[in-house]
Amino acid sequence: MARKYFGTDGVRGRVGEDPMTVEFALRLAGAAARVLAPAGGTVLVGKDTRLSGYMFEAALEAGFVAAGVNVMLVGPLPTPGIAYLVQKLKCDFGAVISASHNGYEDNGIKFFDRLGGKLADELEEQIESHLDQPALTRESRALGKALRVDKQRDIYQQFCASTMPAGMDLSGFKVVIDCANGAGYKVAPRVLADLGAEIVPIGCSPNGRNINDGCGSTAPQLLQLTVAGVRAQAGIALDGDGDRLVMVDHLGRTVDGDQLMYIVARARHEAGELQGPVVGTLMSNLGLELALADLGIPFRRAAVGDRYVLQMLREEGGTLGGETSGHLLCLDKTTTGDGLVAGLQVLAIMKQTGKSLAELAAGMSKYPQKLVNVRVTQRYDVNASDPVQQAVRAAEQTLGSRGRVVLRPSGTEPVIRVMVEGEDDTQVDALARKLAEVVRVNAPGAG
């Protein structure tokens, strides 16, 4: 069964448009209850700071209670915090209201299982199979109850701090923390301050409309200026729901997910603590793969999406993986991507080694990448197009062994993503544009 509503990270869309309406949220709550807690149980519901979060929180609360499920409402909390508290509070599942790094006009709903993991595709398909039914309402004696548990966020804060090496704190560090005016605006500064860091907060004043607006991991320019301006050791930028991380070194330069993965992998490897291969995605920089190979660390590529990285890590017995965007999975510490926890691991390595973030990142050279999005009138299989495949082979021959070509359809829009990577920036740019034109003219309906 093809999923109609669930994408790589739950259901997402423009507020007020299908599926992000109150009516849909009510039906989704009933459908999720039927699949994840058919005999009743408890769900933990959290959200980020979008204005529409109040509306969807109320809709999910009503839908779950009507379906006989008890509801714990924890309010604004990073997505990984919900994943952790689902286990800690022994809930049957969790629900998060967030559109991650998108603007406030969008929102989304995603679920975690009782172990704090993202739902398997099969479970999401089962939930979708019930969405055509009206919202479930049980008789009065079978209804659930709702309870606010805002103070439980302290448990998550303590957990984050506990992922640091025993006895280590961050005294002597000045850290700029940018929470994207999102879900981490309370917990992230408090965790860093409790660990002894001098903090400079930005992006920590949400008003319902400014989430991810010129701040956070997708817009780190203000963080770059601030870190250099206040002479901080590092900057941490989360996205709106706190599961992505981008860092900034003392010179004001960004350090992306691939570079952070390299830093953590190298430190774990040297300490004898790294298990299995490191797992990236098809879009991970070739420089990461080559730098890890120089250290004797195996590297695997999963499909784009942290859920697929997690799946491969479990299959391969690995503990570290992630995406260039900053979704980092440290499975030796937690069950899902957690921007704050990942940032703490990097700060701990800086403290242990006495090296700056710039020095730690210098061991990996990023290869030039060019990504071109080719808009098409309808999706088509580029692997079945002879002209496209001939152009791909020609580009790969030109690049040689130290370059890559990746063509993949977008999962959310009618776009073919063309990515070329190699050692020479000019060559990479020219090949990407040439290949994108071949994809465009061979698309069905192209004129």
What is the DSSP annotation of 135-195?
PP---GGG---EEE-GGGHHHHHHHHHHTSPTT---TT-EEEEE-TTSTTTTHHHHHHHHT
The CA–CA distances, whole Å, from 365 to 54, 298, 321 equal 44, 17, 18
| Chain-centre distance for alpha carbon 94 | 17
SS3 content of the chain, % helix, strand, coil (to 5): 40, 20, 40
CB of 245 closer than 8 Å to CB of 324: no
Tokens for 255? Answer: 């350090």
- Structure letter (DSSP) for residue 7: B
- Structure letter (DSSP) for residue 69: E
Which of 100, 284, 325, 385 does the annotation list as catalytic? 100
Helical pair 121-129 and 22-36, crossing angle rounded to 10 deg: 120
Tokens for 361? Answer: 């990142």
The CA–CA distances, whole Å, from 81 to 60, 158, 307, 395 equal 19, 11, 17, 44
- Structure letter (DSSP) for residue 28: H
Q: Rg of the chain over CA atoms, in angstroms?
A: 22
Query: Around 378, how many Cα atoms within 13 Å sit in the side-chain half-sphere?
Result: 4
How far apart CA 131 and CA 114 sit, in angstroms, is 22
Tokens for 3? Answer: 């999923």
Q: Give the amino acid at 289.
A: E
Is 100 in the active site?
yes
What is the DSSP annotation of 367-432?
PPEEEEEEE-SS---GGG-HHHHHHHHHHHHHHGGG-EEEEEE-SSSSEEEEEEE-S-HHHHHHHH
**Active-site positions?**
100
